[in-house]
Chains A and B, each alone.
Chain A
Amino acid sequence: MHRRKFLKASAVFSAGAAGAYALPLLTAFKSNAAAPASTKLRWGMVIDLTRCPANCTACVDACKKENNVNTSGDKLRDIYRIRKVTLESTLSAAPVQKSVPLLCNHCDNPPCALACPIKATTKRDDGIVIVDPHRCMGCRYCMIACPYNARHFHFRENTEQPNPAYPKRHHGVSESCNLCAHLLDQGKRPACVEACANVNAQALTVGNLNDPNSEISMLIRNHPVKRLREELGTEPKVFYIGL
């Protein structure tokens, strides 16, 4: 084959391939952009670390019970929708410690939803990033894509079901916090927030970020807040006070 002919064929081929792909791609990116301001609901969470007691795991325990996520002490394969970690400052010479709950950040630009090949992970209109366990085929690409290590996988069959009102998942699917969407949809608070209030800590607040008068909007307005790894542009909706 002559070189000119080969180059010509390559050019036509690349143009065709790019064109065929461009259209669905453009529309798909559009739907992935940040939620429009007209949406009434946009859930977010504020975690006030100044009120979060160091040895308290009420939120973690409540979450496990509500969502039927059981753990067996395997640090590498246990599932935590929300977990508590102890942080130590690397900046100051004197050891400063903080106890911090980590969970799915429900990003406005979720890399996990972008990565999911079958749209089993999606961002709802109200901003909650949610996994459909009936669709997930367990490719684990979302875990690779999540910059927060907030995604865990059902390596084992889930045997316990402390909450009969909520289904348990088969092994082989991905799992992450969905802000207890099933409770929020009924007008109730997520299990972790409820538990935190019940132990009188009230460090966790869930609310509508689009309502300027909601408790969460006021907290964000009146306190210096931080989000995790903001430089990635994922636009997390979990805000930390006192980090």
Chain B
Amino acid sequence: MAIEFKTEFKPIEGKSKSFYLLTFMLAGLVLAGAYATWMMDRHGLYLSGMNNRIPWGLPIVMAVFYIGLSAGSLVISSLYGVFGKLEYKPFARVATFMALLLMVGGLLSILSDQGRLDRVLVEPFLHFNPLSMLSINPFLYSAYILICTVYLCVLMMGNEKWTKRLAVVAVLWAILVHSGTGAIFGLVPRGMYKSPLLPPSFIVAALSSGTALMILIILGLFRLTKRPLDTKPILWIGRLLGVFIVGVVYFVFIENAHRYYLVETRAAEHYFLFGGFHSLLFWVGMVLVGAVVPTTILFGRKSGDSIPWVAAAAVMVVAGVLCERYLIVIPGLSHPPDLVPGWRITQSAVEEGIVGYCPTSYEVVQALGVVALIGLTFIWGLKLLKLLPTEAKI
């Protein structure tokens, strides 16, 4: 208990040519994203790939993805804050900062996806529907941003007592945030959505993608700034990541098996598993790249102890969870509900069959803009604040 051990934090220099080049590139992307959002707000959402049958597209996929990454980052910080593991103290600040930025990104993604941007910041405060998952969640998200901000301040002031208290609040709130996000989908009467398992499965998916991202960020930052890093804690996070992936696989298996077993959802589930491009994303993107290969690497006797292999696994997990997010939102909408059981719709003025979704360049640029904003704030935060330790060695 009494091991006193100093971690010194120092901002990055941020004077190199490449730093400013990166700043300009990211700022350019942010402006492009803002322009795309303005165009869609000005002319209408027909500029996006969304339609009456698939009213939610890339912005919601990305929002859910960021929110997941955010919680995972917070877990790394909580290893020190909640569980008192001193070897993770060097990463606590940067992890909390990332968690904060990612949640801002998630909220921004949702907000910029609305049809009437002029009402987004007004109406929810005037007419709050306490039963809607879409009003509960923005409340949870904004409170989470606030909690993370205060937690980061306390971390930076070095107040141990309050760090622990706030870390507990932040972790518990993150659990609420993820249950809530899962409930947005789990609590609507659609065959491919409704499921009480979605909230817990969101928590596990969040943990796996977030820890994977933090592994990459920590490795990248220490290498780029040439600061010494003890890799043992990172390898331990790698093992933890492996466990999280097993959790994700378990939930995904249960949900899909359940839908395939029950006759009422079998047709939709068959379409999900073997019905087109999204099935490729499921089997290759999510199952193979997102789960099978990384767990093999992380639990492998040699590869699990090798930093390049763990980093590769982390990249795969982030990609796999992005696929998972897409698979939750889109295919559940593109398969039509059985409006009149016993009858097939052969003719209609609107599309009643299977509908595809392909994001347009406006949506892609908008999504890149949010990524760039997170990145820009992150690198300038590293420059202006004492977030990164001079070394992380035990």
Residues of A within 8 A of B (CB): 1, 6, 9-10, 13-14, 17, 21, 24-25, 28-29, 32, 60, 71, 74-80, 83-91, 97-98, 100, 102, 111, 114-120, 135-141, 143-145, 147-149, 151-157, 170-174, 228-229, 232, 234, 243
Contact = CB atoms under 8 A, between A and B. Distances in A.
A145 B131 CA distance: 13
A118 to B, nearest CB: 4
B71 to A, nearest CB: 16
Contacts of A147: 189-190, 337
Q: Which of A9, A91, A157, A172: most chain B Cβ within 10 A? A: A172
B228 interface: no
Contact of A140 (B83, B115, B135, B339): B115
A79 B46 CA distance: 12
A172 B349 contact: no
A50 B177 CA distance: 51
B40 to A, nearest CB: 9
B82 A144 contact: no
A122 to B, nearest CB: 9
A117 B172 CA distance: 24
Interface in B173-215: 176, 184, 188-190, 193
B53 interface: yes
Contact of B52 (A21, A136, A143, A243): A143
Contacts of A135: 119, 123, 127
15 contacts: A76-B350, A80-B349, A85-B347, A86-B345, A86-B347, A88-B346, A89-B343, A115-B134, A117-B128, A135-B119, A138-B115, A138-B116, A145-B189, A172-B41, A232-B189
A135 B22 CA distance: 41
A87 B168 contact: no
B168 A139 contact: no
B349 A78 contact: yes
Nearest to B343: A87
Nearest to B125: A118
B336 interface: yes
Which secondary structure dominates chain B's binding surface? loop
Contact of B115 (A25, A89, A98, A137): A137
Interface string B360-381: 0000000000000000000000
B340 interface: yes
Nearest to A87: B343
A92 B193 CA distance: 31
Interface in B337-361: 337-352, 355
B307 interface: no
B168 A145 contact: no
Contacts of A98: 343
A32 to B, nearest CB: 7
B251 interface: no
B121 to A, nearest CB: 9
Given A6-B82, A156-B46, A172-B45, A90 B130 contact: no
B84 A137 contact: no
Interface string B110-146: 0001111001100110111111111100100000000
Contacts of B134: 115-117, 139, 141
A44 to B, nearest CB: 19
A155 B337 CA distance: 22
A24 B129 CA distance: 10
A117 B82 contact: no
Contacts of B344: 87-90
A153 B188 contact: no
A229 to B, nearest CB: 7
Given A143-B52, A148-B339, A157 B43 contact: yes
Contact of A102 (B124, B339, B342): B339
B217 interface: no
Contacts of A120: 123, 127
Contacts of A60: 349
A149 B338 CA distance: 10
A76 B52 contact: yes
B169 interface: yes
Contact of A143 (B44, B55, B114, B169): B55
B340 A228 contact: yes
B26 interface: no
Interface string B73-90: 000000000111000000
B271 interface: no
B297 interface: no
B149 to A, nearest CB: 19
B51 interface: yes
A173 B116 contact: yes
Contacts of A14: 172
B38 interface: no
B181 to A, nearest CB: 13
B95 interface: no
A149 B336 contact: yes
Contact of B116 (A86, A137, A151): A137
Given A102-B339, A138-B119, 10 more contacts: A13-B168, A86-B346, A89-B342, A116-B132, A117-B124, A138-B115, A139-B134, A144-B190, A144-B193, A157-B44
Given A85-B352, A173-B115, A149 B340 contact: no
